[in-house]
C-alpha cells in the first residue's frame, strides 16, 4: 500500500432497494438495525442504518439490482440462533460453502440483495487455508 494512503476499515456499503417502507421494515425490524438520519445535503431518497462505526445505505431506484453473488456480511455471535430467528420469521436461509473456523449462511432482503450471516468460531487463519503443496515423489 502506498505510504500516503492508509485504508483502515470498510466504512459503509450501499444496497439498491425498490420500496422504502418494505426495506425499512426488513432492515430495522427483522435485522434489528438502527436507522439514522441521512446527511441533510442529500436531495435523493436513501436510508442509513448504523452498525457502530460502519453503515449500510439503502438507495431507492426504480429497478432492483441484478441478482449476483455480490453480498455484504453481518457478523453475529450465534449463527445457529440467527438461523432459527430468521426461519421463525419466514426468511429463507441458504447454506453455503463452509469456511474453516466459521458458521455462515445467506439470507436475502426483499429486493433479493444477498446478505451473509457469519459467526467466527475462531480468528481466520490464512495459513490454514493456503493451497496444499503436492508431495515430492520418492526417488
Whichever domain contains 65, its CATH number is 3.10.180.10
Q: Residue 20 pLDDT > 90, yes or no?
A: yes
- Please state whether the predicted TM-score (pTM) of the whole model is above 0.95: no
Looking at residue 6, its pLDDT comes to: 83
Residue 111 falls within a domain, yes or no?
Answer: yes
Asked if the structure places residue 41 within a domain, the reply is yes
How many CA atoms does the CB half-sphere of 6 hold within 13 Å? 3
Cell of 16: 439498491
- Counting Cα atoms < 13 Å in the Cβ hemisphere of 56 gives 23
User: For residue 128, what pLDDT band results from cuts at 50, 70 and 90?
Assistant: confident
> 19 lies in a domain?
yes
Q: Is the pLDDT of residue 1 over 60?
A: no
Q: Is the pLDDT of residue 137 over 90?
A: no
58-87 tens-digit pLDDT: 999 999 988 899 999 999 999 999 999 999
**95 falls in which pLDDT band (50, 70, 90)?**
very high
2 located within any domain: no
Total domain count, the chain: 1
Mean pLDDT over the full length of the chain: 93
Please indicate, yes or no, if residue 65 is contained in any of the structural domains. Answer: yes
**Does some domain include residue 131?**
no
Tell me, yes or no, whether 133 lies in a domain: no
Instruction: Supply the pLDDT for residue 59.
Output: 97
Number of CB atoms found within 10 A of residue 59's CB: 13
CA end-to-end span of the chain:
44
pLDDT of residue 129 exceeding 70, the answer is yes
Sort strands 71-75 and 114-120 into parallel, antiparallel or unpaired. parallel
Cell of 19: 420500496
Q: Tell me whether residue 44 is in a domain.
A: yes
pLDDT for 12 beyond 60 = yes
State CA 104 to chain mean position distance.
11
Burial per residue of 73-89, b for 16 or more beta-carbon CB atoms within 10 angstroms, e otherwise: eeebeebeebbebbeee
Can you give the residue range of the structural domain that contains 114? 13-120
Amino acid at each position: 500500500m502506498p505510504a500516503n494512503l492508509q485504508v483502515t476499515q470498510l466504512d459503509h456499503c450501499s444496497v439498491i432497494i425498490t420500496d422504502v417502507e418494505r426495506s425499512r421494515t426488513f432492515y430495522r425490524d427483522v435485522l434489528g438495525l438502527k436507522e439514522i438520519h441521512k446527511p441533510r445535503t442529500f436531495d435523493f431518497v436513501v436510508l442509513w442504518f448504523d452498525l457502530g462505526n460502519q453503515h449500510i445505505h439503502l438507495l431507492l431506484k426504480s429497478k432492483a439490482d441484478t441478482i449476483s453473488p455480490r453480498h455484504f456480511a453481518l457478523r453475529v455471535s450465534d449463527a445457529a440462533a440467527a438461523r432459527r430467528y430468521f426461519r421463525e420469521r419466514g426468511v429463507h436461509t441458504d447454506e453455503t460453502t463452509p469456511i474453516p473456523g466459521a458458521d455462515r449462511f445467506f439470507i436475502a432482503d426483499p429486493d433479493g440483495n444477498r446478505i451473509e450471516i457469519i459467526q467466527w468460531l475462531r480468528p481466520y487463519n490464512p495459513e490454514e487455508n493456503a493451497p496444499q503443496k503436492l508431495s515430492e515423489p520418492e526417488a
